[in-house]
Amino acid sequence: MYKGLRYAGFFAAVLLPTACSYGAPEHLRNRPAASPAPAAPVTPASAEQRAGFERWTEGFRARARAKGISDGVLSRALASASYDPDVIRLDRRQAEFARPIWEYLDSAVSDTRLRNGRNALAQHGRALSAIEARYGVPKEVVAAVWGMETSYGVNRGKKQIISSLATLAYDGRRGAFFEEQLIAALKILQAGDTSPENMRGSWAGAMGHTQFMPTSYLSYAVDFTGDGRRDIWSDDPTDALASAANYLNKMGWKSGQPWAVEVTVPAGFREAGKSIKKSPAQWQAQGVSPVRGGRIADYGPASILMPAGANGPALMIFDNFRVISRYNNADSYVMGIGLLSDQLAGRGGLQKAWPRSDRALTESERKEIQSRLMQKGFYQGEIDGVTGSGTMDAVRAWQSSVGQTPDGYVNEALLKKLRG
């Protein structure tokens, strides 16, 4: 769980789609985006890298001692730590193409993931029901997080966390952040919750069934089994599932509130976006209606999200959407959790079809969109090809200025209009 960057979890090792909002998941703040398992053979560290890493390690020991880490813990944890070039390669990896949101959701809510999720609910139903009773988060939502993060515990990661974090702290783009995570990992070891050998996870330092970063573990992990340890690493997922529920609870989960309701919007609808909030009654007075008919109960303030533009599904999203986004701030991830949990609970999926004829833009095309928006005075962020909330807000502002539906959707048609 990694906050700040688009550092999604280890969930199913998939890339996040272009039409997503990247931002600041609270407990996952700065957690690196999941990347596919390395296809190339691991490159050994060079003599220069090893020497530099050893010098850094000696300096780090003094800083760790100042943070309260004992010499015994340091010696044991760092004895087997080594520089891992593969971690740096994954950290700097940038995909040229991003997946459209529908392809992402096809994977997130696949038949296999649903089947495995139902099996997981059956196998761990008693524990999940007890977790729901204590924290108020539906067991299907907790199971969906588990399924998205590690495919129900199958893909928990095999990297040694101490080596990965030390490598990123020494040679990464966010050294201070990863050193903070490394200190937190050492505090976990010092508390006796696990051993350095057992502390394994993703290349970016996310751990266990629900992929907590070390600082998140210290703040939100719980000992639900009562054995005296907050064990998110073992084959028994109970503590990890309870920790995820505890996190969502602490972030403000509202019992009985849906994460979203699929709706239809009237022609020429111009109020899509998370910044515009109204009651369900106010939205319905403007012609917004649930696709399955009837009326939407007053679950509190809601926004209208159109993740694939005016030609795709529209969602009325509530506070629980925001709560899930604190786990991972990509809209696609939140939708994956929401749709997966809905279907695990026996509710249906989306009714309106996605505009599957739209192709994914290349990184250079996404950068061009940002550059053109900047030239027109609508975008102030980095030209990085990442379609985050800043880019989508800029798109909406430009669309409004030229009389188009301000849905924030980034596609080839938008690029052509910006060029025109």
pLDDT in tens, 342-381: 999 999 999 999 999 999 899 999 999 999 999 999 999 9
Instruction: Give pLDDT, residue 25.
Output: 35
- φ, ψ for residue 302 (rounded to 5)? -140, 155
pLDDT tens digits, 87-113: 998 887 754 456 899 999 999 999 999
pLDDT at position 73 over 80: yes
What's the total number of domains in the chain?
1
pLDDT at position 36 over 80: no
In a domain, 412, yes or no: yes
Catalytic residue among 26, 149, 179, 180: 149
Instruction: Give pLDDT, residue 240.
Output: 98
4-18, 164-178, 366-380: range with lowest mean pLDDT: 4-18
Q: Is the pLDDT higher at 9 or at 57? A: 57
Average pLDDT, the chain: 89
262 is catalytic: no
Q: How many Cα neighbours within 13 Å face the side chain of 275? A: 11
Instruction: Give pLDDT, residue 42.
Output: 61
Instruction: Give pLDDT, residue 99.
Output: 81
Instruction: Give pLDDT, residue 173.
Output: 80
Q: What is the mean pLDDT of residues 9-27?
A: 35
Do 168 and 175 meet the contact criterion of CB atoms below 8 Å apart? yes
26-30, 50-54, 229-233, 357-361: range with lowest mean pLDDT: 26-30
H-helix or E-strand containing 139? helix 139-150
pLDDT tens digits, 400-418: 999 888 889 999 999 999 9
Q: How confident is the model at residue 382 (pLDDT cuts 50, 70, 90)?
A: very high
pLDDT at position 24 over 60: no
Give percent above pLDDT 90 in the chain: 78
Q: What is the mean pLDDT of residues 116-131?
A: 98
Instruction: Give pLDDT, residue 17.
Output: 38
Instruction: Give pLDDT, residue 388.
Output: 82
Instruction: Give pLDDT, residue 387.
Output: 86
Instruction: Give pLDDT, residue 409.
Output: 93
**C-alpha torsion sign, points 135, 137, 140, 146:** negative
Say how far apart CA 222 and CA 234 lie, in whole Å.
14
In a domain, 371, yes or no: yes
In a domain, 133, yes or no: no
Q: What is the mean pLDDT of residues 32-43?
A: 46
Say how far apart CA 263 and CA 55 lie, in whole Å.
58
pTM, entire model: 0.87
Q: What is the mean pLDDT of residues 149-163?
A: 96
Instruction: Give pLDDT, residue 389.
Output: 81
pLDDT at position 123 over 60: yes
Say how far apart CA 21 and CA 198 lie, in whole Å.
34
- Name the residue range of residue 376's domain: 363-419
Do 218 and 115 meet the contact criterion of CB atoms below 8 Å apart? no
Q: What is the mean pLDDT of residues 31-53?
A: 65
Q: What is the mean pLDDT of residues 204-233?
A: 97
pLDDT at position 5 over 50: no
In sequence order, what are the residues at sequence separation of 6 or more whose Cβ sits closer than 8 angstroms to the Cβ of residue 154?
Answer: none
Composition of the chain by helix, strand, coil, percent to 5? 45, 5, 45
Q: What is the mean pLDDT of residues 294-301?
A: 96
2-6, 174-178, 333-337: range with lowest mean pLDDT: 2-6
In a domain, 409, yes or no: yes
Give percent above pLDDT 70 in the chain: 89
Instruction: Give pLDDT, residue 44.
Output: 84
Ramachandran sector of residue 136 (left: φ over 0; alpha: ψ -120 to 50; beta: rest): left
